[in-house]
Amino acid sequence: MRFVLGKSYLLNDNELVICLTIPDTDQEAILEALDDPSIDDRSKRKLLAIRMHSLNVPHAVIAKTLNISDDTVTNYLKLYQSEGLGGLLESRYFQPVSQVEPFIEAIKQSLDLEPVCCAKEAGERIRKLTGIQLSEAQVRRIMKQMGMQYRKAAGFPGKADPQMQLDFLADELLPRLEEAQTGKRRVFFVDAAHFVLGGFLGMIWCFSRVFIRTSSGRKRYNVLGAVETRDHDLVTIRTTDSINSMTICQLLRKISRKYPGESITLVMDNARYQYNRAVQTLAESMGIELLYLPSYSPNLNLIERVWKLVKSKCLRNRYFEEFSEFQGAIDSFIRSLQGKNRKLLKSLVTENFHIPEIPKT
């Protein structure tokens, strides 16, 4: 039995065939209704029958799948043909997303101006704006259709100056990176990471909540690093002592020995020990340029991504009984970034900088 064109005729003198076409708007409304928890199971069976029919599923298969008779499938299709979706749904409170189409721009503007934390909160906002009550599944579909995504919020320093960052990027940083791409210069991004022995907890796929032991104590393993943009080399000084101007000088000497005779720029933040006179004098004697980032600009320092990678790959959701094991895990992974895991740096250390927008409020 097959339904097309919205007509009825007899097949083999005794089998009634209804010709049925389902428009795209109804297809979308059916999908929304199937996600709506307020609609009862019996009504959803009717909708599934229509949906499966539109996908050319044989009626015998529809009946067997939904545990109903062939005649019931036919009756559902007749009901839809004569009364539409409203006739199929026992609950008449269902509101398809098409009902809020006239309000989409107002909804978009409201959610853009004041983002929400969950679909339930968005649904309440939509109800206040339009008077239409939607399920959370419908609200999520609307937000996705508008181009919204569920993202983790990102922080940036409250004193950051986006315009100053843009000017620095255009006038200072990008010209040097262009020289690096042509082989005329090496640009390193420099910063220190302070790894504290303790718990680095993160998201994990599991069947029930997982509890991970955390280490006690506040021992720190400090890593001063410089990551290069062209060949993705990583130069580090690793120590349990504090990072200071002497450590920076060690890094300068190590880079100078490794790349003799090359034009080198080190991009670094405004930490006092990096502004130290001894550091500047040593860099000048070696012909190394020190380029200082604008204040409060960690988003322009590419090595910050490397430290996040180290935490996620070798520390997160892991327990270390001894500090030496903690050190060893960090050392091993950092070495791997110049070996089997070098590809991770190539995909991570890219010249794709994120400048924060000026807050709207």
Q: What pLDDT, in 10s, does the model give residues 300-318? A: 999 999 999 999 999 988 8
The separation between CA 225 and the C-alpha centre of its own chain, rounded to angstroms, equals 26
Task: Give the pairing type, strands 15-18 and 186-196.
Answer: unpaired
Task: Give the pairing type, strands 264-268 and 288-292.
Answer: parallel
Among the residue ranges 7-16, 53-62, 272-281, the one predicted with the least confidence is 7-16
Token code pair at residue 195: 């790894």
What is the amino acid identity at position 343?
Answer: K
Ramachandran assignment for 67, one of left (phi > 0), alpha (psi -120 to 50 degrees), beta (any other):
left
**What is the model's pTM?**
0.65
Q: Are 199 and 214 in contact (CB under 8 A)?
A: yes
3-class DSSP state of 119? helix
Q: Which tens digit of pLDDT belongs to each residue from 112-161?
A: 989 998 889 999 999 999 998 888 878 888 888 888 888 777 777 778 88
DSSP letter string over 19-76? -----HHHHHHHHHHHH-TTS-HHHHHHHHHHHHHHTT--HHHHHHHHT--HHHHHHH
What is the separation, in whole angstroms, between the first and last Cα of the chain?
Answer: 61
